[in-house]
């Protein structure tokens, strides 16, 4: 029996080899959805805010840094983060044999034929190098590799792999992939080719990234595929499997119970009314009529017919834990050309799918393809932590994420040659959400010294929530004894600010206050306080001629105004403090 199975498998491969399979959405469509997803992700927000340091990236924070890495074909590319994600989304179907692993039936857990179910493929349970597991490992190496080129390559791979994984998520929004609807020898998918034609105009918007907005459901990678019982749930595979037909499972097979046809049967809709917004409100109709109009000569010809030609549409209910009640897909399926004849013979109808069915389904599926992909990126980077020194010189880690972290915390820095070195590490450390833990005594390294004094990379790897091998990173600034001058001036134009010894956290020159440091403690919550993190270079405008500083020690306000501080005051401070700068409009007096 074993031998027979091998023979069958080999025979199947012979059928497949040499065949190009356009599985899933088209590669260009995947790239487009991946870009949309990325732009809706937390990473895009961090880029917009200049805060990529929050996920441990040492670039400018603007997302314009190029990471050099290799694509699957061995070609060396230098790309930005979003372009690596988009490239991964594009390349997951290359070579085509990868696409055989892009199917997942949430009810049975099966993939296509003998191939790996996409859930297992995405998790890295089948042999491949661009899974979620691989992305985590690449990310870890991108944060910790000693060489700058190694870090660049691994970060490229991390984002490239994330693109590969969200490609799988996007395929879950293609019902053929969750209803195992492919027929050997393979042929193209009309739905996919159709989507590819309109990839720039697909209805991407309209659904919030599912993580963190629904973090109680999507608390593990698996949940993005299957969150319920397989038949009904918030997993994207469950949603598409339960609610949408596919070309080969269009009410014609007994393979799936759902979706159920509404008992109203087919509804005849005039083709002349379908694209008339005054007569029809189905959003898919409006979308497709606007983006791919039916030629006027045809409409004119049809308008001459009496009665006007009609299409017979079938409707279904769209269901799910997060779907509003009584949601109807008015264009679930259509009467096939032979159906009237089959009905007369009391035979089962064949059904068919056309542009209106596709457009209607896309209104539900494409926004979710984007939102689930963005959600997975958000989930990947959900780890959040901070660090500072306590009064005793111990390095204190605070878990600012919403899940407990159990594992290894390591502090790294880059020396003058960009060689990344670890300073202090602690394994087996458990830090609950919003709790702190200590890495022990910390002394700034001196041989070699950090390239940028006070700048460190905090990396966590271990269990976070349900994920056993999570990784999180953050650039932190540890500013101990950084201010050595007194503060007896009242104007930023004065030259009393000097660069502190051994640190570049705060300096002044030419009337410009340069702040390269970061708050050593979270902000006090006042939205009008500009934290140091967001004031890389602070140049008062003409109207902002007054400025003052607030010093917080362990979160408690200690003083106000430049003139109130003296060197003796600072010498008495704990190294664990935050500075907030307030500026005032000299005309209005507003802060």
Partner 1 sequence: MFHISMVLRKQSVFLLALVWLFSPGLASAQLALASLESIGSSSLGIQYANAVTNRATNQTTYTATLKNTSSLSLSGPVYLAISGITPNTVTLANATGVSAEGTPYLLINTATLAPNQAVTTSLAFANPTRARFSFTGTAYHTPSVSVSVASPLPGQTINADSVIINGTFQGPANTGITVNGQVAATQANNFYATVPLTLGNNTLAVTATTPDGQTATDTVNVTSSGLAPVKVDASPSGGVAPLAVTFTLTNNTGHPLQSIAVDYDGDGTSDFTASNPNAAFAFTYNAPGPFQAVFDSVDDQGVHHIAKAQVVVKDAAQMDGLFNSVWSGMQSALVGNDQNKALQFLNQQAKDKYGPVFQTLAQDMPAILGSFSPLQRVNISEYIGEYTIIRNIDGVNRLFFIYFLHDQDGVWRIDSM
* Cα 376 from Cα 224, distance rounded (Å): 8
276 binds partner 1 (CB under 8 A): no
Binders in 200-239 for partner 1, by CB under 8 A:
none
* Cα 108 from Cα 238, distance rounded (Å): 11
- Considering the complex, state which of residue 200 and residue 421 has its C-beta at the smaller distance from partner 1: 200
337 binds partner 1 (CB under 8 A): yes
Residue 7: strand, helix, or coil = helix
78 binds partner 1 (CB under 8 A): yes
Which residues lie below 8 Å from residue 4, measured CB to CB, with a gap of 6+?
none
Selected from 11, 15, 129, 184, the binder of partner 1 by CB under 8 A is 184
Selected from 271, 389, 482, 513, the binder of partner 1 by CB under 8 A is 271
Closest CA to 358 of 443, 257, 273, 244: 244
333 binds partner 1 (CB under 8 A): no
CA-based diameter of the chain, in Å? 99
* Cα 247 from Cα 175, distance rounded (Å): 9
Stretch that binds partner 1, among 150-158, 298-306, 525-533, 578-586 (CB under 8 A): 298-306
62 binds partner 1 (CB under 8 A): no
- What single-letter DSSP state applies at residue 419? -
188 binds partner 1 (CB under 8 A): yes
354 binds partner 1 (CB under 8 A): yes
Do residues 143 and 473 touch, judged by C-beta distance below 8 A?
yes
Selected from 261, 275, 310, 549, the binder of partner 1 by CB under 8 A is 310
- Considering the complex, state which of residue 187 and residue 539 has its C-beta at the smaller distance from partner 1: 187
428 binds partner 1 (CB under 8 A): no
186 binds partner 1 (CB under 8 A): yes
Selected from 75, 300, 446, 542, the binder of partner 1 by CB under 8 A is 75
338 binds partner 1 (CB under 8 A): yes
Binders in 23-42 for partner 1, by CB under 8 A:
28
Q: Does an H or E element contain 36, and which?
A: helix 27-39
Selected from 247, 374, 395, 492, the binder of partner 1 by CB under 8 A is 247
Closest CA to 444 of 416, 478, 482, 410: 478
Closest CA to 174 of 335, 333, 23, 27: 23
| Distance of closest approach, residue 76 Cβ to partner 1, in angstroms | 7
68 binds partner 1 (CB under 8 A): no
291 binds partner 1 (CB under 8 A): no
- Which residue has 């691989």 as its token pair? 134
Sheet with 405-414, edge to edge strand ranges: 420-431, 405-414, 455-464, 467-477
Name the phi and psi angles at 245, rounded to 5.
-85, 170
Output the 3-class SS for 186-203: CCCCHHHHHHHHCCCCCC
300 binds partner 1 (CB under 8 A): no
467 binds partner 1 (CB under 8 A): no
Residue 72 buriedness (CB in 10 A; 0-12 / 13-18 / 19+): middle
| Distance of closest approach, residue 585 Cβ to partner 1, in angstroms | 38
Question: Which tokens is 548 given?
Answer: 């003052």
Report CA-CA distances (Å) from 334 to 107, 194, 305, 330, 366: 26, 17, 21, 10, 21
Stretch that binds partner 1, among 204-212, 244-252, 322-330, 404-412 (CB under 8 A): 244-252
- Considering the complex, state which of residue 15 and residue 114 has its C-beta at the smaller distance from partner 1: 15
Site string for partner 1, 512-541 (x = CB under 8 A): ------------------------------
Selected from 137, 336, 504, 531, the binder of partner 1 by CB under 8 A is 336
Selected from 93, 196, 234, 238, the binder of partner 1 by CB under 8 A is 196
- Which residue has 């966590």 as its token pair? 460
- Which residue has 């004119």 as its token pair? 300
- Considering the complex, state which of residue 96 and residue 569 has its C-beta at the smaller distance from partner 1: 96
User: Residue 436: beta bridge partners?
Assistant: 398
| Distance of closest approach, residue 104 Cβ to partner 1, in angstroms | 20
If you count them, how many residues does the chain have?
591
- Considering the complex, state which of residue 71 and residue 241 has its C-beta at the smaller distance from partner 1: 71
Question: Which tokens is 127 given?
Answer: 């042999």
295 binds partner 1 (CB under 8 A): yes
Give the angle 277-280-283 at the CA atoms, nearest 5°: 80
- Considering the complex, state which of residue 342 and residue 512 has its C-beta at the smaller distance from partner 1: 342
| Distance of closest approach, residue 256 Cβ to partner 1, in angstroms | 16
Selected from 311, 424, 535, 573, the binder of partner 1 by CB under 8 A is 311
Residue 14 buriedness (CB in 10 A; 0-12 / 13-18 / 19+): exposed
Site string for partner 1, 4-23 (x = CB under 8 A): --------------xxxxx-
- Considering the complex, state which of residue 38 and residue 518 has its C-beta at the smaller distance from partner 1: 38
User: Residue 459: beta bridge partners?
Assistant: 410, 473
Residues at the interface with partner 1 (CB under 8 A): 18-22, 28, 73-78, 94, 96, 183-188, 190, 193-194, 196-197, 247-248, 252, 268, 271, 292, 294-295, 298, 301-302, 305, 307-312, 334-338, 340-342, 345, 347, 350, 352-355
């Amino acid at each position: 029996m074993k031998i027979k199975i091998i023979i069958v498998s080999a025979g199947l491969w012979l059928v497949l080899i040499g065949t190009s399979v356009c599985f899933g959405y088209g590669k260009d469509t995947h790239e487009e959805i991946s870009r949309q997803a990325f732009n809706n992700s937390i990473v895009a927000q961090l880029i917009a805010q200049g805060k990529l340091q929050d996920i441990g990236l040492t670039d400018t924070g603007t997302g314009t840094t190029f990471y050099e890495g290799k694509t699957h074909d061995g070609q060396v590319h230098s790309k930005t983060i979003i372009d690596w994600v988009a490239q991964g989304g594009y390349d997951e179907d290359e070579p085509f044999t990868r696409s055989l692993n892009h199917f997942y039936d949430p009810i049975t857990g099966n993939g296509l034929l003998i191939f790996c179910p996409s859930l297992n493929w995405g998790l890295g349970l089948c042999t491949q190098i661009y899974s979620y597991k691989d992305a985590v490992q690449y990310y870890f190496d991108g944060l910790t590799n000693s060489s700058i080129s190694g870090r660049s390559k691994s970060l490229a791979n991390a984002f490239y792999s994330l693109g590969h994984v969200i490609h799988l998520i996007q395929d879950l929004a293609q019902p053929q992939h969750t209803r195992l609807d492919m027929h050997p020898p393979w042929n193209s998918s009309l739905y996919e080719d159709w989507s590819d034609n309109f990839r720039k105009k697909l209805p991407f918007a309209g659904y919030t990234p599912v993580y963190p907005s629904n973090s109680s459901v999507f608390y593990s990678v698996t949940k993005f595929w299957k969150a319920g019982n397989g038949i009904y749930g918030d997993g994207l595979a469950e949603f598409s499997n339960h609610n949408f037909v596919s070309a080969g499972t269009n009410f014609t097979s007994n393979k799936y119970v759902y979706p159920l046809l509404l008992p109203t049967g087919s509804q005849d809709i005039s083709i002349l009314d379908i694209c008339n917004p005054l007569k029809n409100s189905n959003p898919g109709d409006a979308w497709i009529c606007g983006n791919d109009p039916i030629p006027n000569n045809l409409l004119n010809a049809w308008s001459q017919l009496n009665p006007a030609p009609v299409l017979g549409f079938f409707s279904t209910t769209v269901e799910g834990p997060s779907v509003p009640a009584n949601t109807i897909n008015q264009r679930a399926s259509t009467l096939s050309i032979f159906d009237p004849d089959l009905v007369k013979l009391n035979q089962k109808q064949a059904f068919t799918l056309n542009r209106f069915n596709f457009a209607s389904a896309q209104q539900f599926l494409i926004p979710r393809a984007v939102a689930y992909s963005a959600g997975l990126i958000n989930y990947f980077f959900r780890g959040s932590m901070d660090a500072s020194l306590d009064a005793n010189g111990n390095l204190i880690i605070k878990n600012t994420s919403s899940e407990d972290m159990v594992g290894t915390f390591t502090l790294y820095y880059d020396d003058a040659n960009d060689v990344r070195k670890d300073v202090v590490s602690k394994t087996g450390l458990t830090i609950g959400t919003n709790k702190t833990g200590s890495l022990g005594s910390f002394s700034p390294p001196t041989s070699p010294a950090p390239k940028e004094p006070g700048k460190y990379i905090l990396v966590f790897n271990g269990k976070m929530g349900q994920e056993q091998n999570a990784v999180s990173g953050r650039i932190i600034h540890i500013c101990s004894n950084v201010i050595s001058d007194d503060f007896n001036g009242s104007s930023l134009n004065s030259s009393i600010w000097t660069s502190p010894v051994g640190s570049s956290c705060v300096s002044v020159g030419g009337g410009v206050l340069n702040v390269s440091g970061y708050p050593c403690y979270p902000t006090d919550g006042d939205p009008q306080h500009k934290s140091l993190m967001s004031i890389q270079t602070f140049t008062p405008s003409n109207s902002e001629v007054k400025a003052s500083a607030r010093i917080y020690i362990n979160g408690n306000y200690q003083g106000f105004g430049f003139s109130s501080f003296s060197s003796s005051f600072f010498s008495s401070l704990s190294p664990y403090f935050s500075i907030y700068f307030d500026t005032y409009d000299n005309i209005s007096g507003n802060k």
